[in-house]
Each structure stands twice: as structure tokens, then as C-alpha cells.
């Protein structure tokens, strides 16, 4: 039969493991089969089902840029059964990956615009994909600003990349930690993301705001963006809900009539406003 069993994952070898923060790791994954690598492609915003054979599958975004073709990366926090099994993996181990699933950040529609990325905690990974994607196509966009906050300095993920982004002339990076989360030599901001956003007051003209973070951060960030003049169509975010299949069959990730796995995970604030609060 030439049709594929959609539940069968690609086999991926863990090429590199980076400890990002306490309990948070990034895996760089390479396809075991070269043919899989050649036929695979994805776009910024999409996600996949990562699995440990014998433990099960877990859903996270693809955290690397689609412009980096020979590998994919994922970043996860060790929390449940599958992420604990993943966390105990070593470089060289083979894990499963199904995907890519879901919709995308419409990067092509944002050509010529300024991009404002606002992320909190472990929600930088879904944004990292689109940040690198935009940086790899740097000339197509206007100003790129990244505001990233975490509870404490040690909770900031992608520390090397933050350094790299901070040292670039063509990116404005603002990092912040919650009050009390700073170290003596912390040079960034102190304060919650929405407050820092309000203080820095970025211009909304010709700008797209991309917001990813814990629900409470999102809740307080939207009104600030609203005050700064961002319209509902210029604010993007991603939703996450519990999923099993990733392609609209297992029936649990829906928010009203919208499936996060098929219609999302990327939504504009306007779309979000039309949905019930089932996320």
C-alpha cells in the first residue's frame, strides 16, 4: 500500500543535548533515514509529536528555524511521563517524531514590517523558530525587537542565543526577570513582561506583535498592546492544549469549534477573542 500509516513517527537521532535552564533541555535531532530528511519540510509555528518508544508521545513546537535544513530542534521542560523519559535520554539515542502539524506564522505577509517578539519563560521556543526564520531573511523586515522575560536569571532559556541576539546591531533585545529573580551581576530589566513592555512603549505603526507566554502573561500583555495602538489583527499568539494525534482526530484540543492542532496553534488576537476560554 502506498499510503502511509500516519501514526508511525520518523526515527530521529539525538545529535546534541543542551541544558537550557533547570529542568529545561533542547534536543537537536537528525533524521535516521536520509530520505526522510530530504522529503521533510516545515514552516515557523508548526509543531510535532515527540516520542519515547515505550513511554508515549508529547507535543511541542519545532524550535529551530525552517531555514536550517539538516536538523530540527525542540525544547521542553521535564514535567510528565514522556518529558521525563525524554530528559533521561543521551546523545545518540533514537526517539520518534511525527509532524509537522498545524498552521504557521504568516512570515511572508509580514515582509516590510517591524516585528516585536514578546515571550515569557518556556514560551520562547515557539518564538525562537520564527525569530531565527526572520533573522535568516533579515533584509525582508524592518526593525526586529525581542522582549523576553523569565522568573529568574537561571530560567532564561537559549542563553547563548540571547547573547548573540543582544550583540547584533540589527536586533533590539530586552531581557527581564521577575523582581527578586535577578543575580548581582544582572544587567537586564527587572519587572514583569507587561510592565516592561509598557515602559519601553514600542511604536505600533507598521508593526506585528508576536506574543507567547504563560496565560497570565498573555492576559496582561494584550491590554498593554492595545494601549500602544496595536490592532487585534496585528497581534499573534500560539495556543497549546492537550493533544494526542496532532491532526484533528483524537478530539481533545478543540477550543470551541476550532482545533488547536489544525486551525492553530497560531492565532491572531482577533481570532482568540471570538473563541470561548477553553484553553
Q: Which residues bind other proteins (CB under 8 A)?
A: 1, 3-9, 11, 32, 51-57, 79-81, 83-84, 92-94, 96, 215, 240-242, 244-245, 247-257, 262, 274-279
Measured from the CB atom, the residue of 96 and 106 that comes closer to other proteins is 96
CB of 279 to other proteins, least distance (A): 5
Measured from the CB atom, the residue of 7 and 69 that comes closer to other proteins is 7
CB of 80 to other proteins, least distance (A): 4
CB of 260 to other proteins, least distance (A): 10
Measured from the CB atom, the residue of 220 and 279 that comes closer to other proteins is 279
CB of 197 to other proteins, least distance (A): 24
Q: Which of 205, 193, 185, 198 is nearest to 147 (CA)?
A: 193
Measured from the CB atom, the residue of 83 and 237 that comes closer to other proteins is 83
Instruction: Judge whether 116 and 207 are in contact, CB under 8 Å.
Output: yes
Q: Rounded to an integer, what distance in angstroms lies between the CA atom of residue 149 and that of residue 72? A: 24
Q: Rounded to an integer, what distance in angstroms lies between the CA atom of residue 105 and that of residue 132? A: 13
Q: Which three cell numbers stand for residue 276?
A: 470561548
The residues, any chain, with a CB within 8 Å of residue 35's CB and separated by 6 or more, are none
Measured from the CB atom, the residue of 10 and 105 that comes closer to other proteins is 10
List C-alpha distances in Å: 216 to 54, 68, 192, 220, 231. Answer: 34, 32, 11, 6, 20
CB of 117 to other proteins, least distance (A): 23
CB of 245 to other proteins, least distance (A): 7
CB of 183 to other proteins, least distance (A): 26
Buried b (16+ CB within 10 A) or exposed e, 227-255: ebebeeebbbbbbbbebebbbeeeeebbb
Measured from the CB atom, the residue of 3 and 185 that comes closer to other proteins is 3
CB of 17 to other proteins, least distance (A): 16
Q: Rounded to an integer, what distance in angstroms lies between the CA atom of residue 247 and that of residue 100? A: 10
Measured from the CB atom, the residue of 56 and 142 that comes closer to other proteins is 56
Instruction: Judge whether 192 and 221 are in contact, CB under 8 Å.
Output: no
Measured from the CB atom, the residue of 54 and 112 that comes closer to other proteins is 54
Q: Rounded to an integer, what distance in angstroms lies between the CA atom of residue 15 and that of residue 194? A: 37
The residues, any chain, with a CB within 8 Å of residue 225's CB and separated by 6 or more, are 197, 204, 209, 211, 235, 269
Instruction: Judge whether 217 and 120 are in contact, CB under 8 Å.
Output: yes
Q: Which three cell numbers stand for residue 23?
A: 529542568
Angle at 225 between CA 219 and CA 229, to 5 degrees: 150
Amino acid at each position: 500500500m502506498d499510503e502511509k500509516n500516519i501514526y508511525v513517527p520518523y526515527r530521529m537521532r539525538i545529535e546534541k543535548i543542551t541544558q537550557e535552564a533547570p529542568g529545561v533541555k533542547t534536543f537537536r535531532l537528525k533524521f535516521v533515514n536520509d530520505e526522510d530528511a530530504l522529503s521533510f519540510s516545515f514552516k515557523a509555528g508548526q509543531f510535532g509529536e515527540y516520542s519515547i518508544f515505550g513511554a508515549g508521545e508529547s507535543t511541542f513546537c519545532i524550535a529551530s528555524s525552517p531555514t536550517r535544513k539538516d536538523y530540527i530542534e525542540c525544547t521542553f521542560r521535564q514535567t510528565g511521563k514522556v518529558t521525563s523519559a525524554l530528559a533521561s535520554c543521551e546523545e545518540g539515542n533514537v526517539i520518534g517524531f511525527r509532524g509537522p502539524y498545524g498552521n504557521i506564522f504568516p512570515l511572508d505577509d509580514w515582509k516590510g514590517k517591524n516585528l516585536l517578539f514578546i515571550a515569557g519563560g518556556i514560551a520562547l521556543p515557539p518564538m525562537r523558530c520564527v525569530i531565527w526564520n526572520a533573522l535568516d531573511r533579515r533584509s525582508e523586515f524592518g526593525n526586529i525587537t525581542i522582549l523576553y522575560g523569565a522568573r529568574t536569571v537561571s530560567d532564561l532559556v537559549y542563553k547563548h542565543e540571547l547573547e548573540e541576539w543582544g550583540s547584533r546591531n540589527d536586533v533590539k533585545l530586552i531581557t527581564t526577570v521577575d523582581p527578586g529573580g535577578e543575580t548581582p551581576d544582572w544587567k537586564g530589566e527587572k519587572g514583569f513582561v507587561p510592565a516592561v513592555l509598557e515602559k519601553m512603549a514600542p511604536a505600533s505603526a507598521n508593526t506585528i506583535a508576536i506574543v507567547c507566554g504563560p496565560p497570565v502573561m498573555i492576559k496582561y500583555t494584550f491590554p498593554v498592546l492595545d494601549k500602544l495602538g496595536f490592532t487585534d489583527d496585528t497581534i499573534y499568539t500560539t495556543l497549546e492544549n492537550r493533544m494526542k494525534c496532532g491532526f484533528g482526530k483524537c478530539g481533545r484540543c478543540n477550543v470551541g469549534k476550532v482545533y488547536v492542532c489544525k486551525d492553530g496553534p497560531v492565532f491572531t488576537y482577533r481570532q482568540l477573542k471570538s473563541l470561548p476560554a477553553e484553553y
